[in-house]
Amino acid sequence: MHRNVFLAGALLVAIGLALFSVKTLQYGIPVAPTENLGPWQVELRISARGDGARGSVRALLPSTEGGQVIFDERSSSDRLQFSIRERGGNRVGVWTGWLQDVHEVVYQFRVQSHAVSTPLPSQGPFPDPPRALRSVWGQPSPGIPSDAPQVKELLESLRLPTAADQPARIRTIYSFVSHEIATVRSASSDALLTLARREGNGEGKERLLVTLLRAAGIPARLAHGLGLREGTAPDELLWAEAWVAEVWVPMSAVHDFFETTPDDYIVLGRSNVPVVEATGVSAIGHRFQSLREHLRPDEIANLLAPDNRLFAWLSLYRLPVTWQAVLRVLLLVPLGALVVALFRNLVGITTYGTFMPVLIGLALRGFPLHLGLALVAVVIAIGYFARFSLERLRLLMVPRLSIMLCFVVLAVTLFALTGQDTGMSSLFAGALLPIVILTMLIERVYITTSEEGTREALLRAFWSVLVASAIHPIFRSTHAEYLMFSFPELVIVVMGLLVWIGGYMGYRVVDLIRFRELAGGEIPGGSAR
Residue whose CB is less far from other proteins, 36 or 527: 527
Phi/psi of residue 211, nearest 5 degrees:
-60, -50
348-367 residues near other proteins, rule: CB under 8 A: 348
Residue 47 or 345 with smaller CB distance to other proteins? 345
Closest listed residue to residue 240, CA positions, set 229, 502, 232, 225: 225
Bridge partners (DSSP) of residue 276 are 59
Contact status: 514 vs other proteins (CB under 8 A): yes
Smallest distance, other proteins to C-beta of residue 497, A: 15
What is the CB neighbour count within 10 angstroms for residue 308? 13
Question: Binding other proteins by CB under 8 A: which of 28, 125, 453, 473?
Answer: 453
Select the residue interacting with other proteins from 189, 345, 350, 426 (CB under 8 A). Answer: 345
Q: Which CB sits closer to other proteins, 310 or 396?
A: 396
Where does this chain touch other proteins (CB under 8 A) — which range of 71-79, 240-248, 426-434, 520-528? 520-528
Q: Quick check: 396 binds other proteins (CB under 8 A)? A: yes
SS (H, E, C) 108-158: EEEEEECCCECCCCCCCCCCCCCHHHHHHHCCCECCECCCCHHHHHHHHHH
Instruction: Respond yes or no on whether the N-terminal peptide bond of residue 125 is cis (omega within 30° of 0).
Output: yes
Taking the complex as a whole, the smallest distance from the CB of residue 510 to other proteins amounts, in Å, to: 8
Q: CB 359 → other proteins: shortest distance, Å?
A: 17
Q: Kindly indicate which of the ranges 111-119, 165-173, 447-455, 476-484 contains the residues binding other proteins, using the contact rule CB under 8 A.
A: 447-455
Comparing C-alpha atoms, which of 278, 277, 284, 274 is closest to residue 49?
284
Q: Please count the residues of the chain.
A: 529
Binding footprint of other proteins, residue count (CB under 8 A): 32
Q: Which residues contact 482 (CB under 8 A, 6 or more apart)?
A: 32, 33, 294, 295
Interaction between residue 447 and other proteins (CB under 8 A): yes
β-pair partners for 236: 226
Cβ-based neighbours of 157, under 8 Å, separated by 6 or more: none
CB nearer to other proteins: give 149 or 525.
525
Q: Which of residues 458-477 bind other proteins (CB under 8 A)?
A: none
SS3 266: strand
- Does 3 bind other proteins (CB under 8 A)? Our answer is no
CA angle 61, 64, 66 (to 5 degrees): 120
Identify residues 27-66 at the interface with other proteins (CB under 8 A). none
Give the binding range for other proteins (CB under 8 A) out of 111-119, 197-205, 255-263, 502-510.
502-510
Check residue 347 for interaction with other proteins (CB under 8 A): no
How many whole angstroms from its chain centre is CA 390? 39
Which residue of 452, 458, 478, 479 would you call a contact of other proteins, by CB under 8 A? Answer: 452
Angle (nearest 5°) at CA 260 between 255 and 265: 60
Smallest separation, CB 434 to other proteins (Å): 20
Residues in contact with other proteins by the rule CB under 8 A: 345, 348, 394, 396-398, 447, 451-453, 503-508, 510-512, 514-519, 521-522, 524-525, 527-529
